[in-house]
Structure 1
Amino acid sequence: MKQGIHPDYHPVVFQDSQTGFKFLSGSTKTSDQTIEWEDGNTYPLVLVEITSDSHPFYTGKQKFTQADGAVDRFNKKYGFTDANPAPESNK
């Protein structure tokens, strides 16, 4: 590798601006803001809009669209049927 062309990789604290969740990770991001971490050291603080703490996929609040609606409408419109229908349950 050439010397002097790569950015400095250093520890940075990322904070979710919605929930306040913080985590320490290595990054090339820089910031004028700093924060004292749990280990007593001071690190640059980077505010982010979304993390695993606030993203709907990770929080379980993800909205699922009705996948079969558009497919069923298409199939009905063009007369397609399911070649492998699901077996009916025995009640």
Structure 2
Amino acid sequence: MKKGIHPDFHQVVFQDSSTGFKFITGSTVTSEDTIKMEDGNTYPLIRVEISSDSHPFYTGKQKTAQADGAVDRFNKKYGLQN
């Protein structure tokens, strides 16, 4: 790899704004905000609107009935009835 062209990769904390869930991961994102974690270290803090803690797919609150209804309406409208 060429030296000096890649961004700095470091540990940061991402915090879900809606649930307060926090996790530490490696990233090239930087922030002026910092947070002190349970391990005693201070990390840059990145606030996100949605994470695995609040996303409907991961929480099991995903709505799938809408797609099934659309297929049924299509079949009823175009005569694919049993």
What residue in structure 1 maps to residue 47 of structure 2?
A: 47
Runs (5+) with no aligned partner, structure 1: 83-91
CA, structure 1 residues 17+81, in 2 after alignment: closer, same or farther (shift >3 Å)?
same
- Is 1:69 aligned to residue 54 of structure 2? no
RCO higher in structure (CA 8 A, sep ≥6)? 2
Moved more, 40-49 or 70-79: 70-79
Partner SS state of residue 14, structure 2: strand
What residue in structure 2 maps to residue 36 of structure 1?
A: 36
TM-score (norm 1): 0.78
CA shift for structure 1 position 71: 2.1
TM-score (norm 2): 0.86
| Percent identical | 77
Matched residues, number? 82
Runs of 4+ with >6 A deviation = none
CA shift for structure 1 position 81: 5.6
Runs (5+) with no aligned partner, structure 2: none
